[in-house]
Amino acid sequence: MNIPQTVRLVDVGPRDGLQNESRPIAVTDKVQLVDDLSAAGLRHIEVGSFVSPKWVPQMAGSAEVFAAIKQHPGVSYSALTPNMKGLEAALEAGVREVAVFAAASEAFSQRNINCSIAESIERFAPVLEAAQKADVKVRGYISCVLGCPYQGDVPVDQVASVARELHTMGCYEVSLGDTIGTGTPSATRALIEAVARYVPREQLAGHFHDTYGQALANIYASLLEGVSVFDSSVAGLGGCPYAKGATGNVATEDVLYLLNGMGIETGIDLDLLVDAGARISQVLGRENGSRVARAVLAAR
Ligand code: HMG
Ligand code: MG
């Protein structure tokens, strides 16, 4: 297996990062974050989600954020849409790429989107159909691919079967979410091998939360398996409201440092990215969750 020479990083910080903040964040601060990320060279930014504001209040202003960001050609600005209501709101806001999100564990599916895995796939079918009609790309997420906070172990065959469904129904990419960060490199490689029986590796992405400090090792393992798209959050923002104790995604700065060291192209400028992470960390009054950013800032 050849290690990819270029990698696409999807910064999910404005969505996965901020969705977990309990304090209200001003639309202008969210917009600044997205604009800082595109200025740093990110070519795919997950801006927000069109979900129930009762479930995730922080994402309620996503349409306003979409209206105010500077959209650059060649950059995909995407949003989560769990059902038709979400898709309609996203289309109304001019969104050109959306994502549906399923889980590999029944218990997490119920807690996160209030339905079974099979029901979620049924709900996604009209979303994909309508999105395709509107020429809007659809990405598919699977949560709990390497462990579930409610059920524990999750068999790889269960993940592979959900991945196959999402791919067959038209998701152009399937992002494998280690929601609680319990995965390790050997489990990651076994997972990719199992899923790749149904979904080509070029259409897989890795989404690693760094709760147990394994995310960079898992990304390296995924690169060895030929995966070339990774989700990350600037400054390591975030967590998941339906996975107690789950910390943020792996920090984009840390992934970029790893990829730069391996000579893998991303088109992202590390210094500008560090600036973006420093600014949002200050807004949130949080310590910067990226070790690379902390080192770069200390050396300035
Ligand atoms: P439900 O209660 O079963 O939905 O929620 P419902 O269809 O019965 O509707 C109930 C109410 O919600 C109604 O309002 C609907 O209008 C409203 P009411 O009549 O009571 O006033 N509603 C909506 N409002 C706005 N936008 C919508 C929408 N749909 C219904 N799209 C639902 C089902 C999926 C909506 C709910 O469970 C929900 O919003 N869940 C949010 C889940 C979420 O955002 N989780 C975090 C993102 S996923 C994640 O972080 C994992 C990931 O990062 C990968 C990983 O790390 O694993 C992607
Ligand atoms: Mg996540």
3 lies in some domain: no
Q: What is the pLDDT of residue 243?
A: 62
Q: What is the pLDDT of residue 228?
A: 98
Q: Mean pLDDT in each 10-residue stretch from start to end of the chain (300 residues)? A: 94 96 94 98 98 96 98 98 98 98 97 96 98 98 97 97 98 97 98 98 98 97 98 88 76 98 98 98 93 97
Cβ atoms of residues 41 and 10 within 8 Å: no
Q: Name residues with Cβ closer than 5 Å to ligand 2, which is an ion.
A: 16
168 lies in some domain: yes
Distance 52 CA to ligand 1 centre (A): 4
Cβ atoms of residues 264 and 6 within 8 Å: yes
293 lies in some domain: yes
Q: What is the pLDDT of residue 154?
A: 97
Angle at 215 between CA 243 and CA 288, to 5 degrees: 80
Q: Which amino acid would we find at residue 27?
A: V
Q: What is the pLDDT of residue 240?
A: 55
Instruction: State yes or no: is 171 an active-site residue.
Output: no
Convert the pLDDT of each residue in 25-34 to its tens digit.
Answer: 999 999 999 9
Distance 205 CA to ligand 2 centre (A): 12
Cβ atoms of residues 293 and 278 within 8 Å: yes
- Domain range for residue 290? 8-299
Q: What is the pLDDT of residue 2?
A: 87
Residue 198 beta carbon below 6 angstroms from any ligand 1 atom: no
Residue 141 beta carbon below 6 angstroms from any ligand 1 atom: yes
109 lies in some domain: yes
Distance 207 CA to ligand 2 centre (A): 7
Residue 247 beta carbon below 6 angstroms from any ligand 1 atom: no
| Ligand 1 site-directed mutation target among 16, 49, 52, 114, most atoms within 8 Å of CB | 52
| CATH number, domain containing residue 205 | 3.20.20.70
What is d(CA 277, CA 237) in angstroms, rounded to the nearest whole number? 9
Counted domains in the chain: 1
Q: What is the pLDDT of residue 237?
A: 95
67 lies in some domain: yes
2 lies in some domain: no
Point out the ligand 1 atom lying closest to the alpha carbon of residue 49.
44
Distance 300 CA to ligand 2 centre (A): 31
Convert the pLDDT of each residue in 247-271 to its tens digit.
Answer: 899 999 999 999 999 999 999 999 9
252 lies in some domain: yes
Cβ atoms of residues 183 and 143 within 8 Å: no
130 lies in some domain: yes
DSSP secondary structure, the chain, as one string: -PPPSB-EEEE-IIIIIGGG--S---HHHHHHHHHHHHHTT-SEEEEEE-S-TTT-GGGTTHHHHHHHS-PPTT-EEEEE--SHHHHHHHHHTT-SEEEEEEESSHHHHHHHHSS-HHHHHHHHHHHHHHHHHTT-EEEEEEE-TT-BTTTB---HHHHHHHHHHHHHTT-SEEEEEETT----HHHHHHHHHHHTTTS-GGGEEEEEB-TTS-HHHHHHHHHHTT--EEEEBGGG----TTSTT---BPBHHHHHHHHHHTT-B----HHHHHHHHHHHHHHHT-----HHHHHHHHH-
What is d(CA 106, CA 144) in angstroms, rounded to the nearest whole number? 10
Convert the pLDDT of each residue in 48-102 to its tens digit.
Answer: 999 999 999 999 999 999 999 999 999 999 999 999 999 999 999 999 999 999 9
Cβ atoms of residues 9 and 44 within 8 Å: yes
Residue 188 beta carbon below 6 angstroms from any ligand 1 atom: no
